[in-house]
């Protein structure tokens, strides 16, 4: 897994790099299917904008892409909000995949159970017919 970190109107310091890596490594524990993360940090220099720090992430999973953008007063707060939201969405995607495979497996199991039930009732009917003949 690769994390690409870019900055617009901001120098990306080692402290910011370490903080981003720490926050997004936590997400990787939930889902090992994340292939690539592109994180962009942006500072709006307009003094009339209240939340002038923006953090964006593009997460490439196997078969899907998640894009999230968060604004906050400080860059660290924006990264926190971004990582929490991405964590939720990655978990939701993982749960959907798990539920999908479980429902597929359960339908296969129930069809097998129905076949066994049909075979048992056929055997019981044959035994009842055989006992009536005797």
Lowest mean pLDDT among 15-24, 75-84, 94-103: 94-103
For 2-133, CATH gives 3.30.160.100
Predicted confidence at residue 64, as pLDDT, reads 84
Given a cut of 80, is residue 126 above it in pLDDT? no
Given a cut of 70, is residue 109 above it in pLDDT? no
Write down the domain spans for the chain.
2-133
Q: Which residue has the higher pLDDT, 52 or 30?
A: 52
Q: pLDDT band at residue 122, thresholds of 50, 70 and 90?
A: low
Which of 27, 21, 23 lies closest to 87, judged by CA? 27
Q: Which residue has the higher pLDDT, 128 or 10?
A: 10
Q: How far apart are CA 45 and CA 47, in angstroms?
A: 6
Which residues are within 8 A (CB) of 28 and not within 5 positions of it... i.e. 6 or more apart? Answer: 1, 34
pLDDT digits (tens, 9 = 90+) for 60-93: 887 789 999 999 999 999 999 999 999 898 888 8
DSSP conformational letter for 2 = E
Mean pLDDT across the chain: 81
Which residues are within 8 A (CB) of 58 and not within 5 positions of it... i.e. 6 or more apart? Answer: 37, 38, 65, 66, 67
Given a cut of 90, is residue 103 above it in pLDDT? no
Q: Which residue has the tokens 């617009």?
A: 8
Predicted confidence at residue 121, as pLDDT, reads 60
Which DSSP helix (H) or strand (E) runs through 84?
helix 75-133
Helices (H) and strands (E) in the chain, counts: 2, 4
Q: pLDDT band at residue 108, thresholds of 50, 70 and 90?
A: low
């Amino acid at each position: 897994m690769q994390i690409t970190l870019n900055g617009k109107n901001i120098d990306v310091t080692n402290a910011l790099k370490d903080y981003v890596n720490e926050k997004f490594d936590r997400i990787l524990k939930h889902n090992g299917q994340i292939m690539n993360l592109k994180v962009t940090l942006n500072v709006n220099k307009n003094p009339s904008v209240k939340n002038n720090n923006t953090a964006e992430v593009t997460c490439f999973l196997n078969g899907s892409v998640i894009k999230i953008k968060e604004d906050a007063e400080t860059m660290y707060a924006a990264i926190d909000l971004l990582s929490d939201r991405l964590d939720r969405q990655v978990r939701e995607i993982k749960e959907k995949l798990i539920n999908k495979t479980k429902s597929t497996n359960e339908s296969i199991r129930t069809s097998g159970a129905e076949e066994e039930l049909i075979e048992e009732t056929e055997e019981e009917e044959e035994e009842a017919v055989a006992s009536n003949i005797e």
